[in-house]
Amino acid sequence: MKSVLITDVDNTLFDWFNVWFKSFSAMINVTSKVTNIPLAQLKNEIKLVHQKYGTAEYSFVLQELPCLLEKYGTPEKIISELDEAIHSYRSERKKNLMLYPTVMETLLLLKKKGVKIIAYTESKEYYTNYRFSKLSLDGVIDIIFSPEDHSIPKYMTSQAGFKLDKTENKHTPRGEIKPNPKILLEIISSIKAKPEQCLYIGDSEMKDIAMAKDAGVDSVFAKYGNEHFKYNKDDYNLLRDVTHWTDDDVERERKIKEQNKDTHSELVANKFSDILDFFEFGTYKEYP
């Protein structure tokens, strides 16, 4: 019997990579077309900005590219002159941002049963909150644990945050990333639960599943969250080209893969609702 569901977010609740690729590639291609600046130069400068802010989703990336500042002079002018590129990004994001099949109905069923639903993500708060709002997850998820936001440029202070009405935001420790069983256990402790009450679902065996196992938490591998890499391998090259990962991050990832190469989940979900076949769920009650 499980009374707490802890779910990864990106590529577990929705196809993060597809949303990112469709919107980002549209923006960068239009930017290159309008400005006549080669894609290679744009990618090189974008990568440095992404590394500065620790995310490949930095909303103000165009306004901080040296080549565009040289061409247009100010961030405000860049926004004005590249309105088509910005619009193409937003259009593709709106078109492709959707929950995986069975996610919403499963979450609502668990909610009706009294299950505590927690989200644990490495995406920063602003971007996660935006997506939760658009995906109607505000209030369906009880608490989101995520990293704090990066700083916001002074000329964009009106966008200093994106708040949810019902879902509570809590932050993971600065610089801490998955797989970290200590953080997972701290999340469980913070809601006055015990590991045996909890089920964790995520799309990465080497991170999500390895972390859950080390924390003594039952887990399910969201295999469906890896489908885009199977069929669109070339698309991933764009993310590599503009990644926010530093050389140290790449080396850390290599070590994680090596350490957890033999970690596999006994329970594999081909759709989110498969968790209902693996476990019984009931009303969450705090431990004293």
pLDDT in tens, 142-176: 999 998 876 666 655 555 557 899 999 999 988 78
Answering whether pTM is above 0.85, one says yes
Residues of the chain with pLDDT under 70: 150-161, 231, 233, 249-250, 253
pLDDT of residue 135: 97
DSSP letters for 45-95? HHHHHHHHHT-TT-TTTGGG-HHHHHHHSSHHHHHHHTHHHHHHHHHHHHH
Helices (H), 135-287: 181-190, 210-214, 227-231, 236-241, 247-259, 275-278
Q: Are 188 and 198 in contact (CB under 8 A)?
A: yes
pLDDT of residue 178: 87
Q: Are 180 and 170 in contact (CB under 8 A)?
A: no
pLDDT of residue 250: 67
d(CA 148, CA 159): 15
Query: What is the per-residue burial (b if ≥16 Cβ within 10 Å, else e) of 151-173?
Result: eeeeeeeeeeeeebeebebeebe
Burial class (CB in 10 A: 0-12, 13-18, 19+), 27: buried
pLDDT of residue 162: 72
pLDDT of residue 150: 63
Query: What is the per-residue burial (b if ≥16 Cβ within 10 Å, else e) of 59-96?
Result: bbbbbbbeebbeebeebeebbebbeebbebbeebbeee
Helices (H) and strands (E) in the chain, counts: 13, 7
Residue with tokens 């995906």: 135
- E strand or H helix that includes residue 108: helix 103-112
pLDDT of residue 157: 53
pLDDT of residue 156: 59
pLDDT of residue 54: 86
d(CA 48, CA 157): 22
pLDDT of residue 258: 79
pLDDT of residue 264: 79
Order of strands, edge to edge, in the sheet holding 198-202?
Answer: 168-171, 143-146, 116-120, 4-7, 198-202, 218-222, 268-269
